[in-house]
């Protein structure tokens, strides 16, 4: 079983419009689903037939809606409950761009953080890999991911970390097995250096897979270093593409890195093509996979 942890789970709302014009009124097509990075990873893994359970923190009516939507999709979950209202995220999508508006999330008391640690520890007994993903809500300590990595290491379970800022920096110090930053997160960690991917590895990660948008992925691992990309980048909504990348990387960790990277690029591109962020058309993934170029660097 794969366990995904989303401390700041969200109700994701997508508005689709013909064109975004500042200062104007828009009539929108609306879609909503349970979200947050780890929840998106869990949904994609479930769609691919992988055994998975999503955990994290939810609260209030919005948290109830998150649970209901996951139940409707058949995605297993085991959230801890907190007082306060889970956040909502709003993505406005037109043919040229996606514009996001992210709420901060509920204030989490110490008891809520302890409840998440207990739930996580319970789930580790059946886990073959753990994904820690997304932002931390107010009140959760900035070294939360480092502490969860320590619990997973004590249980002998490998960890994938997908975060940013201080939670990422603290998490790296705990030595995750894989970290997946994007270009902005790389720059925030190590600044303008010649080789930011290897610089991140030196901060503590066993392996780093950096997502570089339309330029694909750059991976630095103990087994080698690769770049993977599509010759012709796809257009669409990039929200959730990074979560698809993580799902592809964790579903079969025993496979050679070039195969995992080929899957990750194709699944990310398929997510860009999806009409709703956080979902993936599986047939599009299979169609794109043979076109992915993987080069050793």
Residue matched to tokens 């780890």: 38
With beta carbons less than 8 A apart as the criterion, state whether 105 and 36 touch: no
Tell me the pairing of strands 87-94 and 52-58.
unpaired
CA atoms within 13 A on the CB side of 27: 0
User: For the chain, what percentages of helix, strand and coil (3-state, to nearest 5) are there?
Assistant: 40, 25, 35
Tell me the pairing of strands 87-94 and 97-102.
antiparallel
Distance CA 19, CA 26 (A): 9
Q: Take residue 174 and report the two structure tokens written for it.
A: 């705990």
- Please pick, among 12, 162, 243, 263, the residue that the annotation labels catalytic: 243
> DSSP for 33-52?
EEESHHHHHHHHHHHTT--E
62-65 contact pairs (CB < 8 A, 24+): 62/11, 62/86, 62/87, 62/88, 63/9, 65/11, 65/32, 65/34
Measured in whole angstroms, the distance separating CA 199 from the mean position of its chain's CA atoms is 22
- Respond yes or no: is residue 177 known to be catalytic: no
Catalytic residue ranges: 243
């Amino acid at each position: 079983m794969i366990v995904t942890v989303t401390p700041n789970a969200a109700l994701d709302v997508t508005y689709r419009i013909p064109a975004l014009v500042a200062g104007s009124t828009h009539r929108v097509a609306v879609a909503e689903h349970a979200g947050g990075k780890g929840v998106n990873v869990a949904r994609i893994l479930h769609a691919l037939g992988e055994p998975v359970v999503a955990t994290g923190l939810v609260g209030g009516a919005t948290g109830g809606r998150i649970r209901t939507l996951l139940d409707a999709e058949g995605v297993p979950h085991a959230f801890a409950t907190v007082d306060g209202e889970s956040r909502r995220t709003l993505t406005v999508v037109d043919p040229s761009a996606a514009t996001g508006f992210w709420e901060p999330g509920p204030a989490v008391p110490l008891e809520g953080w302890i409840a998440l640690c207990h739930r996580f520890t319970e789930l580790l007994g059946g886990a073959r890999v753990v994904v820690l993903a997304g932002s931390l809500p107010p009140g959760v300590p900035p070294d939360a991911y480092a502490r969860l990595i320590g619990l997973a290491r004590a249980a002998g379970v490998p960890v994938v970390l997908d975060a940013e800022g201080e939670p990422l920096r603290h998490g790296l110090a705990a030595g995750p097995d894989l970290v997946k930053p994007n270009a902005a997160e790389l720059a925030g960690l190590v600044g303008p250096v010649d080789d930011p991917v290897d610089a991140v590895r030196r901060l503590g990660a066993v392996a780093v897979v950096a997502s570089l948008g339309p330029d694909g992925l750059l991976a630095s691992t103990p087994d080698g270093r690769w770049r993977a990309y599509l010759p012709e980048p796809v257009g669409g909504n990039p929200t959730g593409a990074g979560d698809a990348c993580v799902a592809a990387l964790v579903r079969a960790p025993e496979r050679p890195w070039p195969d995992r990277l080929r899957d990750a690029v194709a699944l990310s591109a398929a997510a860009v093509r999806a009409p709703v962020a956080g979902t993936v058309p599986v047939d599009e993934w299979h169609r794109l996979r043979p076109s992915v170029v993987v080069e050793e660097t």
